[in-house]
Amino acid sequence: MRLTLNSTAPQIKTKDISGKDFDLESFRGQKLLVSFFRFSTCPFCNLRIHTLNTVYEKLGVKVVALFESSNENLLKHLTHYELSFPVLSDKKGEYYKSYGLNKSVFGMFKGMLTRPVEMIKGLSKGKSPLRGVDGYLTRMPADFLIDENGMIKELMYAKDEGEHMDLEIIKAFGDKK
């Protein structure tokens, strides 16, 4: 079931890809973007991770990224970014389910057909969905902006595989007093 605005963000308690304990509750008192991705070799996902990492300091929020990939694949395909934020593996889809994410064959094809430039940029970074897919090809991304009290203030369930919340929305949330 999809989440709604002003609902409490479901708990996430696991280890990040480097083995450190992660607890969403530790972010209380801070603004947060929880961003769900597809799998470690998704070209759209890698392009977005690269973008978030590049603009991280300007966003005004902490970022947490979840992938439906194994730790092994995430370490293999993402560690070259020197990420500024935690990346979590949810290979079993536990958090994807609690946040109400879905799958869509139509959304998968829509992303490929309507976002060719982004797809090519992602592929140019050496990431191909044909190498090491260990998540659902049809998984759709989602983004959640969570306030200092753990409440969801903005959310976006993607309609295609390359869609994410606009960076300006994230920045405006981060700038809000």
- pLDDT confidence band for 128 (50 / 70 / 90): low
For 94, half-sphere exposure in the C-beta direction (CA atoms, 13 angstrom radius) is: 10
Give the count of domains, the chain.
Answer: 1
Domain-located, residue 140: yes
Domain-located, residue 114: yes
Domain that holds residue 136: 32-175
Question: Which of these ranges, 48-52, 87-91, 123-127, 139-143, has the smallest mean pLDDT?
Answer: 123-127
Q: What is the Cα–Cα distance from 25 to 164, expressed in whole angstroms?
A: 24
Strand 87-89's sheet: what is its strand order? 87-89, 62-67, 32-36, 142-146, 152-157
* Average model confidence (pLDDT) across the chain: 90
Q: What is the Cα–Cα distance from 119 to 136, expressed in whole angstroms?
A: 17
Domain-located, residue 8: no
Q: Tell me the pTM.
A: 0.91
What pLDDT score does 31 carry? 98
pLDDT tens track for 8-61: 999 999 999 989 999 999 999 999 999 999 988 888 888 899 899 999 999 999
Domain-located, residue 168: yes
Domain-located, residue 95: yes
Domain-located, residue 52: yes
Domain-located, residue 16: no
What single letter denotes the amino acid at residue 124?
S
What pLDDT score does 123 carry? 64
Q: What is the Cα–Cα distance from 21 to 173, expressed in whole angstroms?
A: 27
What pLDDT score does 131 carry? 61
Radius of gyration of the chain from Cα atoms? 15
- pLDDT confidence band for 134 (50 / 70 / 90): confident
The stretch 73-90 carries a mean pLDDT of 86
What pLDDT score does 79 carry? 66
Furthest-apart CA atoms within the chain: distance in Å: 44
The CATH number of whichever domain residue 59 belongs to comes to 3.40.30.10
What pLDDT score does 118 carry? 79
